């Protein structure tokens, strides 16, 4: 029986394609290795285990020399922690790893890396806590002033003008002391929070407009306490002004913006008629 030339060619092509697929599949299967680590099954490629510089234990375990006369259908058993091994594989895959610090301490992971003979490169092993600290603004200072919480940049607390004394200010001393303690807790200062809000605004903008609930003598007292400026310091009185509450237009404007710049507290608590 003679097949048409086209049919014979098609069958020959199909047979060749099948042999190629079988070869690829066989090659792929040969490249896959299975581990049983503490009862957990892992699959990875031989090429993954060869990613790291130097010969390590896992690479030896899957080598032809070690696997000679072994049953390749069974996973290679390792009596170590399976959860940790998952991160060991990820380290080999990517060349770095981030550990969930609450689940896997870094020292425990490094202990297993040493067991497998894998030497980590510099900064290639990080914990989630490290990343959290890294992403947290390092110059952020938190104050608890009379029970009210304030946050500002450290650079604001170090703002200086040519009129300020050369010595370290009380604000700078307080921040330095806080930075040496538990910075997860705010720095407590037993002063008036309404006045402190204006002190921060003065440091931020170089000037301030005081609301009627803050007497000037109280403001100047705290200005001297925190940053060493007094009413008699050159140019200070020019940068400290008072809100004219009789101005209807200003009154409406401040009400609309919600006293955004630290002078809202008194107006939000009490009716305007009280002033």
For the chain, 275 residues long, give each residue's pLDDT as a single digit of tens: 454 555 555 555 655 555 444 444 444 556 889 999 999 999 999 888 887 777 788 988 888 776 666 676 789 999 999 999 999 999 999 888 888 866 678 888 899 999 999 988 888 888 766 544 444 455 789 999 999 999 998 888 888 766 666 778 899 999 988 888 888 889 999 999 999 999 999 888 888 888 888 888 999 999 989 988 888 877 777 778 876 655 555 555 555 455 444 444 444 444 444 43
SS3 70: coil
Q: How far apart are CA 108 and CA 71, in angstroms?
A: 32
Q: How far apart are CA 252 and CA 259, in angstroms?
A: 11
The answer to whether residues 181 and 142 touch, using CB atoms and an 8 Å cutoff, is no
DSSP state of 120: P
- Of 139, 134, 171, the closest CA to residue 152 belongs to 139
């Amino acid at each position: 029986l003679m097949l048409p030339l086209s049919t014979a060619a098609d069958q020959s092509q199909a047979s060749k394609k099948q042999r190629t697929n079988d070869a690829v599949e066989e090659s792929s299967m040969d490249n896959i290795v299975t581990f049983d680590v503490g009862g957990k099954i892992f699959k990875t490629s031989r090429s993954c285990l060869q990613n790291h510089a130097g010969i390590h234990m896992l690479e030896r375990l899957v080598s032809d020399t070690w696997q000679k006369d072994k049953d390749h259908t069974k996973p290679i058993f390792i009596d170590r922690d399976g959860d940790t091994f998952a991160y060991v594989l990820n380290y080999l895959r990517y060349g770095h790893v981030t550990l969930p610090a609450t689940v896997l301490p870094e020292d425990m992971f490094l202990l297993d890396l040493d067991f497998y003979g894998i030497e980590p490169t510099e900064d290639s092993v990080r914990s989630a806590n490290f990343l959290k600290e890294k992403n947290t603004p390092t110059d952020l200072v938190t104050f608890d002033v009379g029970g009210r919480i304030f946050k500002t940049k450290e650079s604001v607390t170090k703002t200086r003008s040519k009129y300020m004394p050369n010595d370290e200010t009380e604000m700078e001393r307080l921040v330095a002391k806080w930075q040496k303690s538990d910075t997860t807790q705010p720095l407590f200062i037993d002063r008036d929070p309404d006045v402190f809000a204006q002190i921060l605004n003065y440091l931020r903008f170089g000037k301030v407009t005081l609301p009627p609930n803050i007497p000037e003598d109280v403001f100047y007292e705290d200005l001297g306490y925190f940053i060493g400026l007094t009413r008699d310091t050159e140019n200070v009185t020019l940068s400290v002004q008072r809100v004219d509450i009789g101005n209807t237009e200003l009154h409406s404007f401040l009400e609309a913006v919600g006293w955004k710049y630290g002078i809202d507290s008194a107006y939000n608590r009490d009716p305007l008629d009280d002033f």
